[in-house]
Each structure stands twice: as structure tokens, then as C-alpha cells.
Structure 1
């Protein structure tokens, strides 16, 4: 039996309180997870396509290292724009349409990349693909945060990321076989990246709008009907009545963008921006530079690529290993523990010149970096209110991508000035800062409703909002 609606002043947000007390992942939740896993699989596969085709472009088109670097950096700028646009559209048009639209966008531009006649055209298309890729990532994180009950949203973020990461070795091996087949073999890499459009088409039919977004935009009846169907599925699975509904959260005032930089959420915006900037700098400072740095250290190219391939195996289990931890202990404290271990391993990796150390420490670093990503993916959309969740998540994540555009230049400068070990000291410092910033200044989010996270019981800002 569906619970009666609350008083008129609270009815609009009753669906959020009902959603958080659902104790299991329902049949609908599992369908949504499958769709999101599929679209993230091809999103992460597409993210690395240009790196795999670059050698062929150099051989067949005469592309210079400089032009390849320019396209790579420009793609990060496209991701920055995509994060901003995707987050904003998610707040205005809804999570479902922003998610499916961005997935269609990156798929179409990837397909057009396969038809590129020259390097300039391909560069423009890769920037536009980056817009769609990052927009989809941002909105996907928001959707999981809003549509899964509080006690399980972290686990499903980790699962979706873990399955999505399979796309990287999938694309790598596909490129290994098709790129050498001829002058146009590389084009099929982009064709595979466009297959995500099939998952996007399925989402149009099977993915509902976020109940919390519906609540926030006055569609309370649609939100209540959606949550009621989930409640019925949960009762069927458990054979029991659901726990009592808590007090519905008080309806929020309409949000203004300036709140992110001038209002009560400015400290959270600053905190998450710094966390994403240092996180991206450290993540790509290690993963993107390991092959080159190993060669500079004296290993030959074959050994360098072999070691890197072995290290990459840790990515998928790393994200999946977040599953048993991410909803069990407070996220901000667990993240600090992960980052401190990463710091130690990165320093060992940089200071100890031994193949067993490179393989063991490097594998563990790769594993933990993806575990960290699962935590950041979960934590970021949790700290912003529904009315600002899209633009807040997009802005902070986007600043990290923007930093990534200059990160390669920074690593090169550090290496040239101070040598091999200095790069790993830099990476360790970045990762340590991510953990410390969130542990010291971040709000608690694990197991709490999104509405509770964004306000205290008396409606005032949480402690972090008065610290920074």
C-alpha cells in the first residue's frame, strides 16, 4: 500500500524520503545499471581512441608529435566545456535527456571522426567528442546519486565505473588488430567508439527521469508514481513491508548559479575544484607518463610498453574493490586512507629502480587510483543540492579536466628541471592533497540522504561552509 501524501508544504519532496528507505536494488535499478554500464563502457573506450590511432596518423598522414599533442590538449578543453554544459543542461532539462543527449553526441562525433579527411578536421571532431564524453560522465554520476537509495549509491557508482573501465583494454586490443591492417585501419577504432549510441537509444525508452529532479521542478505526481513502482518491486523481492518513511525534506528555494562562488556553497565548490584539479594532475601525471619515463630511465620501448600493459590490468579490479568499502565507512576518511597508501607506493615506485618493484607497486597504484576515482565520482554530486547538483558537479569536474590540459606540460617541465624521481614526488604530493583536503574540510556523506547532506537540521550551512 502506498503511503498517504504528506502535508501540502512537504508533498513535493516526499518522493526523496521514500526513495532512500528502499532496502534493496530492485529490478528497475538493475536495468538502469546495465544501461549505464553499457554507455560508460563505450565512453571510456572512446576516451582513449586518439592515443591508439596516433602512431598510424604519424605514419600515414605525416602528423607531427606537436600536432598530436595539440589535439590531445584540445580534447581536455572540450571535456571542460562538456562538463559545464552537461551539468547545466541536467539542471534545466532533466537528468535523462542530458544523459542520453550527451551519449548520442559523443557517439556521432566519434563516428564522424572515422570519416576525417585531414588532421585539422579530426582535431575539431575530437574536441566535440570530448564535450559529449565529459557531459555524459557528469550527468551519469548525478543520476546514480539521485536514483539509488543512500545506503547503496556508492557501490553502484563503483560497479558502473568498474565495468566501464573494461572498455579501455577492449579498445586497446581492438586497435592492436585493426590499426595495422592498412592506411585506413585506424578509422575502425572510432567506429567502435560510436557503438555507445545503441545504449543511448535504449536509455530513451527504459531510463526514467530522476525522481529528485522531478520533485525539484514541480512534477511531484510523476516522482511519486515512479518511487511507488520501486517500492512495489522492493516489497515483491523482500516479501516484507518497507521501513517507515522519514520526514520529507523541506522544499528548496530555486537555485542561482552565483551560489557556487558567492553563496553558502562556495566553500564546497572550492574544495571539490581543488580535489579534482590535484586528482587529475596526479592521476594523469602517473598513468600518462609511465611509458615515457621508463624509457628515459633506461628501459627499452618493448619493456616499457610491456610493463605499462601489466600495470593497466589493475584498473578494473581497482574500481570494483571499492564496492565493499564505499558504503561501509565514511567516504571522506576512507578516501584519505587510500590516498596515503598511494603516496607511499608512488614514492617507492620513483625511488626504487627494480623491475619487481615497478610491477608490484605500479599495479597497486593503478588499482588504488581507480578506487579513488570511484570515491570521487560518488562524493562529488552528493555535496550539492538538487537545484545546483548538475552545474556544481560539472564545474568542479570540468576544472580538473582543464588542469589536465596543462598537466602534461607541467610534468615535462618538472622532469627536465629535476629529473625522474621529482615527477613521482609531484604525483605523490597531488594525491596526498586530495585526501587531506576532503578529509579535513569535506562533509560526511555515507548513508545520508542527499537533502540532509546539503543542509543541517536547522537549515543552516554545514560546518564546512564556515571553514573556508
Structure 2
């Protein structure tokens, strides 16, 4: 076999049970990523009362968690290229689930901070691999939609965790630990392992066309048994096998512009969103709301998160993703600013709901947009580096927010967050390339399927 023609063979497949099962597995991983990622934010108000934790200590733990995310993202790109997308997805999920479980046994803010850094490394690594996996396994014309569908289900982990926290955190001086036990349930992704397939495009990028063809035949047999004869794929384009992508690859002219743009995208998204979500419960508690009310209000606002991902699924393959990101980012900036300018509980919930709705839609769009700016050879490296730098940037974000709050007050935090979102929106509007795929022409179906 000279060429497995993986991209074209996958692109002409109709959506089938295989795609839906893969979607469910990725969504499950996303669910517990989002369930776990804000665990510290939901327990921090209790730890302020119980351990005497300060706003500055909350900032340091949050900052170090993002250092962990950076390290996890960088490692994920390299490991996914070496081990494969499926195996890395499973192992990174087991990694973050294990350290979330260990967090249950924390004895002070330092030990909890260490465990959160390790958990965050696994969370970020898993996300990078999942984004790449969806990009490579779904037809180009609908991959944005299915990336968003996975987010619709996965993002429910955020309100679920906040609701769990609002119920268990106030129960006793130890019940906050149950929030971390809840996050550890992501390890159950192993139950999906036999239903997942390795990315044929990964095999092909390594020059192993026989392995790619074997996986493709298995997928095609499953789809054709359900959907009938398949269309002929477009002819393959010969490409040399990819070798390990060195870091300096991203400095080449064709990769430098998307690398810089996506770095801005993920830096502004990370500081803008996590500055809001990581500090909102603590800041509300500091402004006079009880721990129970602050956690409950945030739980109500995060109900908008899955609706935002669903909204993204409706627009991502219908309109140019670049302009969807610009529009969503602008709305987030406005709603986040209005959130910070009110102390009315109803308006806090309304504007917080809208921030969560459009931000999670923005993230779903960005998950589809980011890997499209790179080819197969550079996709893991480029996605991992840019996503990782975005996460690393928030090592400074919480410290900036804590400093703003301590020096100039509550509302200045939200002016800062709104400004960050607008920087990202303007950068995308001016420099963002278009990526909306055209539906590929397909040939007449043939009666019996065979490999290319």
C-alpha cells in the first residue's frame, strides 16, 4: 500500500453509530475535565473560613495550577505524536482523575496546591489530545459541529460540580473534600476504551499506511453495515511521512502567523474566563455574600454553559468560525463588565449566565478553529504549544486580579477582564484566517466497499 488516503476516506463517511460513540467518549472526558477544573474555586470560600486561606493564597494556588496546565499541554503534543491519540487520551484522563482523588486527602493549602497543579497538568493534556482527536476523526464539513456537541455534554460538568459543591460544601468541615472525589470519576473513561479507534491520520503521518488502512477498513465496515454502500473517496495527495516536529518548526513562515494568533486567542480566553470563574465565588464572599449564597449564585450562572456550546454547534459549520469567535468574544466582554457593575443578585445571575453561555460557545468554536490552522505534521505541536502558553499566561492572571482587587476594588477586576476579551476579539478580526470548509465533492457510491 502506497497511501491510505485517510483524510478523504474519513471525510466521505456519513455520521454513524461509530461517530456517535466516539462523541460520547470524548464528551465524557470533557465532562470530568470541566467538573474538575473549577473544583478549587468552589471550595476556596470554605477554606478561607476553615484554614484561614487568604485571597493572595487563592491566587497563588490558581496561578500554579495554570503552570501545571502549561506543562501538561506541552507534554500532550509530544506524547500524542509518539503514543497515538487514543492511548494518550486515556492515559491523561487517568492521570488527572488520580490526582483529583489524591486531593481528597489534602491537609493544608500547600498540599492541596501541589495536587491541584498535577491534576491541572492532566486536565490540560487531555483537552489538547481530545481536540486533536475530534479534528482527525470526523468529516471536515461537520467536525466543528461535533466538537461543539461534545462540549454541550461535557460542559455540563461545570454546573454539575457547582451544584454538587453548593450541596456538600456547607454540610461539615470535611465535606468539601467530596468535590474532589467527584472530579476523580473521570477515570471511568476506561470503560469506553474498546469502542475507540486510533486516528488513521496519526498512523498515516508516521508513514504507517498499512496500520492506517486497517483502522479505516474497520471503520468503513461498521459504517457501511449501518448506512449502506459508501461513496468513493477523492484521490489521495501524496505526502512524505512526517518526522518528529521540532519546536523550531513553528518559527517557519507558514506556521509562525497561526502560532502567534492562536497564542493571543488562548491567552485572552484563559485570563478572561478563568479570571472570572476562578475568582467569582471568592470575590462575592469577600463583598458580603455568604459562602452558601456565593457558591449557589455561581452554580446558577453556569447553567448557561451547555447552552452556549449548543449555540456554537448551530453556527460553527454554518458561518465563518473566525467571525463567530469575534462576535462571541465581544458579547462576553460586555456581559462580564455588566456583571461586575451590579450587586443585585438577580442581575449577577443573569449576566453571569450570559458570560458562561457565550464563553463556552467561544471555547467550542476555538477548539474547532485552532487545529484547522495547522497541518497534520504540526497539529499536535502547534495546538499544544499555543494552548499551553494560554494556560501559562494565567499564572500571572490571578496575581493581577488579586492585586487589582486589593488596591482598587471589586469592579476594577471586571474592567480588566472585559479589556482582555476585547484584545482577543480585535486580534481575530484583523489577523484571523478563514477556515470554513467547503463540502467535498463525492463520487458515485459503489456497491462493495474496499480500501483505497
Distance 1:112 1:287 in 2: 23
* Structure 2 residue aligned with 1:430: 420
Shift of the alpha carbon at 1:55?
A: 4.3
Distance 1:448 1:397 in 2: 26
Shift of the alpha carbon at 1:332?
A: 0.8
Cα separation, partners in 2 of 1:90 and 1:317, compared to 1, 3 Å:
same
* Structure 1 residue aligned with 2:168: 178
Distance 1:257 1:53 in 2: 38
* 2:433 counterpart of 1:443: yes
> 5+ unaligned residues in a row in structure 2: which ranges?
441-452
Distance 2:217 2:173 in 1: 56
Report Cα offsets for 1:204-245 as digits up to 9, x if no partner. 332221111100112212212222333334334443542542
* Structure 2 residue aligned with 1:403: 393
CA contact (8 A) 1:17 1:249 kept: no
Distance 2:346 2:250 in 1: 47
* 2:267 counterpart of 1:277: yes
CA contact (8 A) 2:56 2:402 kept: no
Report Cα offsets for 1:255-304 as digits up to 9, x if no partner. 32211134531221111111111111221233334455567778777765
CA RMSD of aligned residues (A): 2.8
Distance 1:111 1:288 in 2: 20
Shift of the alpha carbon at 1:344?
A: 3.7
* Structure 2 residue aligned with 1:242: 231
CA contact (8 A) 1:155 1:327 kept: yes
- Return the match for 2:212 from 223, 236, 244: 223
Distance 2:300 2:172 in 1: 28
CA contact (8 A) 2:80 2:88 kept: yes
Distance 2:363 2:369 in 1: 10
**SS at structure 1 position matched to 2:254:** coil
- Return the match for 2:8 from 17, 21, 25: 17
Distance 2:203 2:277 in 1: 40
Shift of the alpha carbon at 1:182?
A: 4.0
Cα separation, partners in 2 of 1:357 and 1:204, compared to 1, 3 Å:
closer
- Return the match for 2:240 from 239, 251, 256: 251
Cα separation, partners in 2 of 1:429 and 1:252, compared to 1, 3 Å:
farther
Distance 1:121 1:141 in 2: 31
Distance 2:275 2:177 in 1: 28
Distance 1:28 1:153 in 2: 14
Cα separation, partners in 2 of 1:180 and 1:302, compared to 1, 3 Å:
closer
- Return the match for 1:156 from 111, 134, 146: 146
Shift of the alpha carbon at 1:119?
A: 3.7
* Structure 1 residue aligned with 2:135: 145
* Structure 2 residue aligned with 1:166: 156
Aligned residues, how many? Answer: 439
Distance 2:50 2:384 in 1: 37
* Structure 1 residue aligned with 2:327: 337
Shift of the alpha carbon at 1:112?
A: 1.8
> 5+ unaligned residues in a row in structure 1: which ranges?
451-468
Cα separation, partners in 2 of 1:318 and 1:413, compared to 1, 3 Å:
same
1:73-112 to 2 correspondence within 5 Å? 73-112=63-102
* 2:287 counterpart of 1:287: no
* 2:194 counterpart of 1:205: yes
Q: Choose 388-397 or 170-179, whichever is displaced more.
A: 170-179
1:23-38 to 2 correspondence within 5 Å? 24-38=14-28
CA contact (8 A) 1:20 1:449 kept: no
Cα separation, partners in 2 of 1:258 and 1:448, compared to 1, 3 Å:
farther
Distance 1:59 1:337 in 2: 40
Q: Choose 123-132 or 303-312, whichever is displaced more.
A: 303-312
1:278-427 to 2 correspondence within 5 Å? 278-291=268-281, 305-350=295-340, 357-415=347-405, 421-427=411-417
Cα separation, partners in 2 of 1:279 and 1:118, compared to 1, 3 Å:
closer
Shift of the alpha carbon at 1:137?
A: 0.8
Cα separation, partners in 2 of 1:414 and 1:262, compared to 1, 3 Å:
farther
* Structure 2 residue aligned with 1:42: 32
What is the TM-score with the length of structure 2 in the denominator?
Answer: 0.87
What is the TM-score with the length of structure 1 in the denominator?
Answer: 0.84
* Structure 2 residue aligned with 1:465: none
Shift of the alpha carbon at 1:349?
A: 4.5
Distance 2:291 2:173 in 1: 24
Q: Choose 151-160 or 240-249, whichever is displaced more.
A: 240-249
